[in-house]
Structure 1
Amino acid sequence: MLNQVEVAKQRWGGANNTIDGWLLGRKQLLIQYCELAGVNYQRRESLPDANEVSEFCTLLMDYLSAGHFEVYEMLVGDDTTGQQLKQRLYPLIAATTDQALDFNDSYADNFHPDHAMEFEQSIAKLGEALVERFELEDELIQHMHGLVQQPVTE
């Protein structure tokens, strides 16, 4: 997943400050996700503590909010292709948002080590949703990037 963020940053970085900040937020989210899930680390002997989970949930909600309220409309534009892309992708993105909100509702303020098995399953499911979401968001970024690159003809 982190490689995917780096590819997106290399491909589209510098085109727009808002997108750059959003991709940085994605990277920070993924780093914390990997730490919580034990990805790319030797398997934890113990679960994360409640503060780590709460901090991750805050980052997750900030990232989701930025996408929905600051970035997506900028990415699709008013052109026909952008509007078609919006109609196709937004419901799929909304499904990943629902999964992330479910995770947040379950663990932001209620994380308890007694529910270790449930947490492991939930964090894995969230990871799958994030991978899907990032791929969908990258399609939106690609659309904007394509529009920026097109020459204006009069």
Structure 2
Amino acid sequence: MLTKLERAVDAWGGNNKLIDQWLESRRQLLITYCQLAGLPPYGEAKEALPEEGHIKQFCNQLVDYVSEGHFEVYDQVASACERNGEKSKTLANSLLPKINASTDSALDFNDKFTNGVDEDVLLELDAELSKLGQAMEERFELEDKLLETLLSHTSEATAG
């Protein structure tokens, strides 16, 4: 996921302040995810359950990220896609409902792990992180398709 993020930053970074901020939010979310899951390069193999504060920090970042997408980025991207023609508008309209599925996964994870977790719930953390990671990876791919559509039309307009 981090490698794909780097490609996204290389492709679209610097084109729009909001998109740059959003991609940086994704980077921070992925770093915290890797730390919590004990994944390289930011995490170490876990011998103990993570601290509740670290889980809450991740949940806060997760909710902030999905909220930022829904309430700031997607509206602007969808509006720009509408201006770019019917093909872009159709693509945006087909991708947004698919992105919503990962929002539900993120909110379910947040609900499960932010309100005082006991050890039994913590024992489910690895499995839940894995499920969330798959949902978020799909989300990032869909978001990248939106950005690609938006920015390819923007670069065509400035080139023409």
Length, aligned pairs only:
154
Q: Name 2:33's counterpart in structure 1.
A: 33
Looking at both structures, which has the greater relative contact order when contacts are Cα pairs under 8 Å and sequence separation is at least 6?
1
Instruction: Identify the match of residue 107 of structure 2 among 101, 110, 119.
Output: 101
Matches within 5 A, 1:114-133: 114-133=120-139
| Aligned 8 A contact 1:75 1:143 in 2 | no
Structure 2 residue aligned with 1:90: 96
CA distance in 1, matches of 2:61, 2:77: 22
Per the TM alignment, residue 5 of structure 1 is displaced from its structure 2 partner at its CA by 0.9
Shift of 1:152: 6.3
Residue in 2 aligned with 1:151? 157
Q: When the two structures are superposed, what TM-score results if normalisation uses the length of structure 1?
A: 0.93
Report the equivalent of 2:72. 70
Whether 2:62 is the aligned partner of 1:56: answer no
Contact 2:99 2:139 in 1 (8 A): yes
* Maintained 8 Å contact 1:36/1:53: yes
Q: Percent identity?
A: 42
The Cα shift of 1:126 comes to 0.3
Cα distance in 2 for partners of 1:18, 1:153 equals 22
The Cα shift of 1:75 comes to 1.7
Which stretch of structure 1 is more off in the superposition, 121-130 or 79-88? 79-88
Partner of 2:49: 47
Q: Do the aligned residues in 2 keep the contact of 1:50 with 1:112 (CA within 8 Å)?
A: no
Structure 2 segments unaligned to the other structure (5+ residues): none
Cα deviation digits, residues 74-120 of structure 1 (max 9, x gap) = 22321312221122111110000000000000001233333333111
The code of the aligned residue for 1:106 comes to: K
2:9 — aligned with what?
9
Mean CA deviation greater in 107-116 or 68-77? 107-116
Q: Which amino acid aligns with 1:137?
A: E
Give the secondary structure class of the aligned counterpart of 1:151.
Answer: helix
State which drifts further: 108-117 or 19-28.
108-117
CA shift digits 1:35-57 (9 cap, x unpaired): 11111143111111110000111
Gaps of at least 5 residues in structure 1 are none
TM-score by length of 2: 0.90
RMSD (Å) for aligned C-alpha atoms: 1.7
